[in-house]
């Protein structure tokens, strides 16, 4: 084919312009979903909501989804929202719900007739070690102070965290048991989200708090809270805070989060959602989020995640019974 000078210049100009387009234009020519209904069984501002918003940002940036519609229904570790999701979203193939280990424990503790067995697992995304934090102007200055207080009288040491029976509650019980005290004496104060728990800690209404690091990060960086221990197998990268094991307490625990679809969807609908989340997980935006928020990547999808959910329910039930919470 022979190009005239005018055709050549027009072609060159178009090619040059295309090279200046953002990379994301080519990431996904057509969205996999025009829209996704994202259900968050918690109030805005907490860990599940933050995870859902991060999924939205990464999926939209990668061109995987055109738009997201959010619904937040908080309370009782997800046990207010979960029945609503199960009953109202049945069979909807463009709907996702964020949940995780907290919801597993809350369902058992609250003896809920609707549990994680009633939703469709899509993918496990992140894991976050717990952090024990205290207000900087409080009486407790370090782990030794808190350990001494627990050993003296755990009932007198109030600790804020997420929903009753959730990961934070379980961690407190395991710590008290490891220190030789009765875990049923734990003075745990449950809150519906990270915001209210932060306010209680900073306001001196409780002695300490337990949550994922991201929930307390802003207050820690601002110098209003002090992190004194983390519950993972190793320290959080970039955070100079010892693990409980380093401090002589043989306890490890982590809070995992994932996404679930409504009950009653068919195999094709489930496969499409697994494909969406898998591609979102591989995106540059999601990788940047993991690093920024210090979330551990534990991506697992499909049948493997189905099996993990069953095991998580069994393991959590065992721990809660041991701690007198089930």
**Considering only CA atoms, which of 272, 213, 233, 254 is closest in space to residue 34?**
272
Question: H or E segment at 100?
Answer: strand 95-100
DSSP 243: B
* CATH 3.40.190.10 assigned to 128-230: yes
Q: What is the pLDDT of residues 126-156, one digit of tens each?
A: 999 999 999 999 999 999 999 999 999 999 9
Question: Which band of pLDDT confidence, cut at 50, 70 and 90, is reported for residue 5?
Answer: very low
CATH of 34-127+255-322, one of 3.40.1440.10, 3.40.190.150, 3.40.50.300, 3.30.420.40: 3.40.190.150
Q: What is the pLDDT of residues 169-215, one digit of tens each?
A: 999 999 999 999 999 999 999 987 677 899 999 999 999 999 988 88
- pLDDT above 70 (res 22): no
Q: What is the pLDDT of residue 27?
A: 54
Q: What is the pLDDT of residue 170?
A: 92
Q: How many CB atoms lie within 10 A of CB 145?
A: 16
Question: Which band of pLDDT confidence, cut at 50, 70 and 90, is reported for residue 302?
Answer: confident
Q: Quick one: tokens of 308?
A: 């993990």
Q: What is the pLDDT of residues 204-245, one digit of tens each?
A: 999 999 998 888 999 999 999 999 999 999 999 888 999 999
Percent of the chain with pLDDT over 70: 91
So where are the chain's domains?
34-127+255-322, 128-230
Q: Do domains 34-127+255-322 and 128-230 have the same CATH topology?
A: yes
Question: Which band of pLDDT confidence, cut at 50, 70 and 90, is reported for residue 28?
Answer: low
Contact 47, 255 (CB under 8 A): yes
Question: H or E segment at 178?
Answer: helix 167-178
| Residues in a beta bridge with 257 | 100, 126
Q: What is the pLDDT of residue 155?
A: 97
């Amino acid at each position: 084919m022979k190009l005239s000078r005018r055709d050549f210049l027009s072609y060159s100009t178009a090619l040059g312009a295309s090279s200046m387009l953002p990379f994301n234009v080519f990431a996904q020519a057509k969205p996999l979903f025009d829209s996704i209904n994202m259900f968050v069984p918690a109030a805005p501002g907490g860990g599940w909501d933050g995870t859902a918003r991060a999924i939205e940002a990464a999926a939209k940036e990668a061109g995987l989804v055109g738009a997201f519609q959010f619904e937040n229904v908080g309370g009782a570790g997800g046990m207010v929202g979960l029945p609503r999701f199960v009953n109202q979203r049945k069979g909807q193939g463009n709907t996702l719900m964020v949940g995780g280990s907290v919801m597993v424990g809350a369902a058992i503790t609250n003896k809920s007739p609707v549990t994680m067995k009633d939703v469709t697992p899509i993918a496990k995304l992140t894991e976050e070690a717990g952090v024990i934090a205290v207000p900087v102007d409080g009486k407790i200055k370090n782990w030794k102070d808190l350990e001494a207080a627990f050993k003296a009288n755990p009932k007198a040491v109030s600790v804020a965290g997420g929903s009753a029976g959730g990961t934070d509650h379980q961690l407190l019980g395991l710590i008290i048991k490891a220190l030789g005290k009765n875990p049923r004496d734990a003075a745990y104060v449950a809150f519906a989200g990270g915001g209210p728990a932060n306010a209680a800690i900073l306001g001196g209404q409780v002695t300490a708090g337990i949550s994922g690091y991201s929930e307390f990060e802003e207050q820690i960086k601002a110098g209003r809270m002090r992190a004194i221990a983390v519950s993972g197998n190793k320290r959080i990268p970039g955070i100079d805070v010892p693990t409980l094991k380093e401090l002589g307490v043989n306890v490890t625990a982590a809070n995992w989060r994932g996404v679930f679809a409504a009950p009653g969807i068919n195999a094709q609908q489930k496969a499409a959602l697994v494909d969406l989340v898998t591609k979102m997980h591989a995106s540059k935006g999601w990788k940047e989020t993991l690093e920024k928020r210090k979330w551990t990547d534990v991506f697992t999808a499909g049948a493997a995640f189905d099996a993990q959910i069953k095991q998580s329910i069994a393991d959590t039930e065992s721990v809660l019974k041991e701690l007198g919470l089930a």
